[in-house]
Amino acid sequence: MSSTKTARDHPVARIPLPSSDSQLRKRACLNLVRPPPTCTTESAQVTSDDVKNSAVQPVPIHKELHLGMFEIGKPLGKGKFGRVYLAKHRESGYICALKMLKKEEITREKAEMHVRREIEVHSNLRHPGILGFYGWFHDSRRVFIILEYAAGGELYKVLQREKTFLEQRAAQYIS
């Protein structure tokens, strides 16, 4: 359930994209699986000086996650159990993908272990070629998984559109 379009391609996207500086520091604010003692705040529309200054002023993140902490944007994709939305963490301004899975669908398909395993695997993966995982939470009807936002969309869709990649580009993807 990844995106097929980017916020840049969609004129009604209400959530600004992060600056390149904030992309470089993507794991600073929402890695809530094993939270660091502090994190830095950053805005989605900051100057590089703001980013540098915010790095010296850490803010604790030991809060229980809930849906109200996020501003929900446009849908990025859908799957068997729910949808993925562009989202903005209200406090930090961080842009992410928020996967919303319906518990009713998960239960009906007897996929509880599949979802638990997805969360477990995501929480243990740290690789530049794999989207970052920032945490998860749930309410009475849904499970929410917070993932890194892939502004370029799905690699599969790019390959479908372009038909082939040059050798150098393919090497970047598999390295």
Asked if residue 156 belongs to a known ligand binding site, the reply is no
Between CA 21 and CA 109 the distance in angstroms is: 41
Between CA 111 and CA 139 the distance in angstroms is: 17
Asked if residue 148 belongs to a known ligand binding site, the reply is yes
Asked if residue 99 belongs to a known ligand binding site, the reply is yes
Q: In 117-156, which positions are buried (b, 16+ CB within 10 angstroms) versus exposed (e)? A: ebeeebbeeeeeeebbbbbbeeeeebbbbbbbbeeebeee
Between CA 14 and CA 45 the distance in angstroms is: 13
Show binding-site residues.
80, 99, 148-150
Show binding-site residues for ATP.
80, 99, 148-150
